Amino acid sequence: MKRVSIKDVAKKAGVSASTVSYVLNRTPTETISPETTKRVMDAVEKLGYVPNLNARSLASKYSNLIGVLIPQTEPGKEFMFSNPFYGELLSAIEYTARQNGYHLLLSGTQEDQSYMGIAQNRDLDGIIIVGTYPGENLYQLKRLGVPIVLVDSYVKDKDFYTVGIDDRKGARLATDYLIKKGHKKIAFISGSIRENGVNIKRWEGYCDAMKEAGLSINEDAIYSGNVDYNYGLIAAKQYIDRGKNQTAAFITADVISIGVLKGLIQHGVNVPEDFSIVSFDGVYLARMSYPSLTTVSQDIAGKGKRAVQLILDATGNKEKSYTDCVLPLRLVERDSVRELRCE
């Protein structure tokens, strides 16, 4: 079936092809009467005309395409969709981009895979990278000459925009809350702890709170694995096998916490009667779990919206100025913490 062209629309509306272009692109320098605009839009609807984005990008020098790269730092081929955090973040990125006439190119990458290999030849207007670490892979992208936004990254470089939170402060907030509820033996359950990563900042916040309260940090209270539901099940079993020496845990991701909840129940440990949990992220599943999770809530959607807006603001602006956007946190009290009374 032949694709409907702009010339077909022009013929149907009885106007020139340039007039159709002015109407569809809302060209501010051209004044088109309401009657002509209506004829053009009626023709577009009747013929089912769809703009050729490739042709439009050639004319405007912009592709209206934003790349989203998520390095695979956890094992598993479906890691992006095993954690609801990514679903909420990507939904916000896609919606904000679409509202502004942009589309997404989404890709996961292996840790040793070149970002350039994915980004080059795509004619991207900007790139959002989630959870990356310093390295040559990242710095190669500077050669593309497009705005690059790092989300949840502790890479500090004037050529990149960053959007994130104060992970150390959030972890301290969570641990302080447990301490104020009377808990002294508090476990730390996390994904892998790597230099310049989110989890090491949350580990540091946990240590800050414990040390300030004069509480010891024992090796058997530290659990580290993957950021997923299955690791939560494993951590719960490890807690049982190690002798159940803690009364509470700060867990660095809601998806792990939900696995821990299920695993503890399977071994006859009830939350919060026998064991208390403060989690981190504030994904929608945190309020749907049973019991619902007390968690440090971050504005996940806000991260996605802000990342897209930084690209939109920077597109075409050659005067790049470093922007470090830190969004607020709040602790949401629910049902997963029990207060221990002093004897």
Tokens at 223, concatenated:
């659990």
Residue 81 lies in a domain: yes
Q: Are residues 242 and 176 in the same domain?
A: yes
Q: Is residue 106, in this structure, part of any structural domain at all? A: yes
Q: What is the pLDDT of residue 241?
A: 97
Residue 10 has pLDDT above 80, yes or no: yes
Kindly state whether residues 185 and 273 are assigned to the same domain.
Answer: yes
**Residue 77 pLDDT greater than 80, yes or no:** no
Domain shared by 214 and 193, yes or no: yes
Q: Check whether residue 222 and residue 232 sit in a common domain.
A: yes
Is the model more confident about 249 or about 46?
A: 249
Q: Would the pLDDT of 130 be above 80?
A: yes
With a cut of 80, say whether residue 135 has pLDDT above it: no
Confidence of residue 95 (pLDDT cuts 50, 70, 90): very high
Does residue 77 sit in helix, strand or coil?
A: coil
Predicted confidence (pLDDT) per residue in 294-319, tens digit: 999 999 999 999 999 999 988 866 55
Confidence of residue 322 (pLDDT cuts 50, 70, 90): low
Residues 167-201: tens digit of each pLDDT? 999 999 999 999 999 999 999 999 999 888 899 99
**Does residue 59 lie within any of the structural domains?**
no
Q: Based on the domain organization, do 185 and 99 belong to the same domain?
A: no
0.85 exceeded by the pTM?
A: no
User: Within a domain: residue 20?
Assistant: yes
**Residue 250 sits in the same domain as residue 198:** yes
Task: Check residue 343 and give its pLDDT.
Answer: 45
Comparing 41 with 77, the larger pLDDT belongs to: 41
Q: Would you state the pLDDT for residue 68?
A: 92
Q: What is the CATH number of the domain that holds 40?
A: 1.10.260.40
Q: Which domain holds residue 42?
A: 6-51
What are 210's two structure tokens? Answer: 């414990």
Give the residue with greater pLDDT, 93 vs 78: 93
Report pLDDT for 49: 82
Which residue has better confidence, 271 or 4? 271
Comparison of pLDDT for 130 and 22, the residue scoring more: 130
Residues 282 and 264 in one domain: yes
- Work out the average pLDDT over 153-171: 93
Closest CA to 170 of 289, 256, 261, 253: 253
Secondary structure element (H or E) that encloses residue 240, with its range = helix 229-241
Residues 73 and 131 in one domain: yes
Residue 1 lies in a domain: no
Mind listing the pLDDT tens digit for each residue in 280-291?
999 999 999 999
Closest by Cα among 119, 141, 296, 129 to 205: 296
What's the domain count of the chain?
3
CATH code of the domain containing 188: 3.40.50.2300
pLDDT at 119: 63
- Whether residue 335 lies inside any domain: the answer is no
274 in a structural domain: yes
Q: Which residues are CB-contacts of 146 (< 8 A; sequence separation ≥ 6)?
A: 124, 125, 126, 127
Judged against a pLDDT cut of 80, whether residue 53 lies above it is answered with no
160 shares its domain with 186 = no
Please check whether residues 173 and 289 belong to one and the same domain. yes
- Phi, psi of 296, rounded to the nearest 5 degrees: -80, 115
For residue 221, what pLDDT band results from cuts at 50, 70 and 90?
very high
Residues 139 and 233 in one domain: no
Average pLDDT over residues 313-340: 84
Q: What is the pLDDT of residue 267?
A: 96
Q: Answer whether residue 63 shows pLDDT above 80.
A: no
Does 73 map to a domain?
yes
What is the average pLDDT across 53-69?
67
Residue 124 has pLDDT above 90, yes or no: no
Task: Report the mean per-residue pLDDT for the chain.
Answer: 87
DSSP strand E in the chain: where? 65-72, 103-110, 126-130, 148-151, 161-165, 186-191, 222-225, 248-251, 276-281, 294-298, 324-327, 329-332
pLDDT of residue 207: 98
| 290 and 306, same domain (yes or no) | no
